[in-house]
Amino acid sequence: MTQVRSPVRIGFYSDATRFAGAEIALGNLLESLGPHVQATVIGTCATIVERLSSHRPGTTKVVLAPAQGVRGIIRHRNAFTRLDLDILQANLTWMPSCRKALVAAMTIPRLRVVAVEHLPLQGSGLSNRVVKHLTSRGLSAHVAVGKAAARIIKQAAGAPTGSIRTIYNGVVDPGTPAPRSASAGPPLFGCLARLDRVKGLDVLLDALAKVPDARVVIAGEGDERAALQGQAFALGISGRVDILEWTDDPGSLLTGCDGFVLPSRAEGFPLSILEAMLAGLPVVATDVGSVREAVVDGETGFVVPSDDATALARAMRRLATDTDLRRIMGKAGRARALERFSIERMARAYEELYEQLLGAPTEQPSRAESRQPERITPKACTTEPNGEGSGRSSEHAWKERSIEVGDPGGIGRVVGQGTHFLTAARQADDRIRGEGSQFRNGRERRR
């Protein structure tokens, strides 16, 4: 007998400005959740909101201006309040993401707030750590995409022990891959990655120079394209490297490959590895984040230290010279991905989380205990000509009326909590500057 579930209103929030792994994972989730989930996609970039909502036809779309200071927190709170959500789920591309939206959501009575962490990479400065610590303690649920990633986030954020749960990302199975015929030339390794230093593609090119019997094809977008092409030329391997545009159809690239490699300096739980495993490819990846939870070293591929071109080359060479090993590891990897990392399994885990949250009492006052703002049907919002997202619908402008008229206590909660977080952050930064400490961007520290 089919289980009938009560409708649940969930807002899925993203402050991403480009569509990458975290957004692909959220799109997969939106596509696979049951019909009882009434989804609203909320974001600060109209393009991202549109792409995410395309995964679930009929989804309500709301675009807001990026939150700046307490006033921005208030605007976000107004929008969340009007939507009358049961749950607000923030999709964090890295640890500092969505923090002001989270502050806004935490001030709304009986709204459950979920943060999903995709990359355990912290921003620079003590202020980031202070705000992360404070927001992590106000969440209804804190989710990481891997166990190792959860441990890193817990330590960096100072989150309470046991407060971060793991829900693995899942990807769609493209079906049983066709048998691979013998390659006419050297074995081909595929790589799906953003062209960014954090992905370690410079290390991959250094490794390829040490493996003369292999080729590499990289598909991705980013600022490092010219630098990578220049590096390939300097190493004398331009004829064995293709750097293509990103593709939304990974199968079209992976089908022609003999193996997959991901040389990242930082990761959470990369979708590209799962896609390669489902395509029946052995994987060579670096030991960062929760990669080891996907790739079993020596069984479904090889896990090597990050920033180690020699170790990466050694693993690639083993696969390049052993057809049977590639076949055995590829088969084992596909079986593991089907068993543990299916999109259906991911959706069930989130649905169980939602049921737990809605069945649990909260310490906040009930909605009946506070005056309700007038209900405004949300419209699809557009961006201003400057493309930064005004948060204004063509039919209705989002205003602060819900706080000013319908919820007089809300302004105190927003200003009180928002000011508390911002003041703590500013004090931390002032202390850093007073001591003369210098912090660089988290990504640049890995250069």
Confidence (pLDDT) at 416: 54
The continuous run of DSSP H or E covering 188 comes out as strand 188-192
The continuous run of DSSP H or E covering 273 comes out as helix 271-278
How far apart (Å, rounded) are the C-alpha atoms in residues 67 and 15? 9
**Domain 188-341 top-level CATH class:** alpha beta
DSSP single-letter state for residue 307 = T
Q: Coil, helix or strand for 248?
A: coil
Whether residue 43 is predicted with pLDDT greater than 70 in this model: the reply is yes
- Over residues 299-329, the pLDDT tens digits come to 999 999 999 999 999 999 999 999 999 999 9
Contact yes or no for 103/15 (Cβ under 8 A)? no
Give the Å distances, CA to CA, from 215 to 33, 104, 232, 257, 295.
39, 49, 12, 10, 22
- Give mean pLDDT, residues 276-299: 97
pTM above 0.85, yes or no: no
- Over residues 220-247, the pLDDT tens digits come to 999 999 999 999 999 999 999 999 999 8
Looking at domain 8-170+344-435, its CATH architecture is 3-Layer(aba) Sandwich (3.40)
Mean pLDDT of the chain: 82
- Over residues 129-166, the pLDDT tens digits come to 777 778 888 899 999 999 999 999 998 888 888 899 99
Higher-confidence residue of 373 and 125: namely 125
How far apart (Å, rounded) are the C-alpha atoms in residues 331 and 321? 18
Contact yes or no for 205/179 (Cβ under 8 A)? no
Whether residue 363 is predicted with pLDDT greater than 50 in this model: the reply is no
DSSP single-letter state for residue 159 = P
Residue 1, number of CB atoms within 10 A of its CB: 3
Q: Coil, helix or strand for 281?
A: coil
- Over residues 205-217, the pLDDT tens digits come to 999 999 998 999 9
How far apart (Å, rounded) are the C-alpha atoms in residues 248 and 250? 6
Confidence (pLDDT) at 257: 95
Confidence (pLDDT) at 371: 31
Q: Which residues of the chain form CATH 3.40.50.2000?
A: 8-170+344-435, 188-341
Confidence (pLDDT) at 360: 59
The continuous run of DSSP H or E covering 201 comes out as helix 201-208
Confidence (pLDDT) at 178: 79
The full 3-state SS of 92-147, as one line of letters, equals: ECCCCCCHHHHHHHHCCCCCEEEEEECCCCCCCCHHHHHHHHHHHCCCCEEEECCH
How far apart (Å, rounded) are the C-alpha atoms in residues 167 and 348? 10
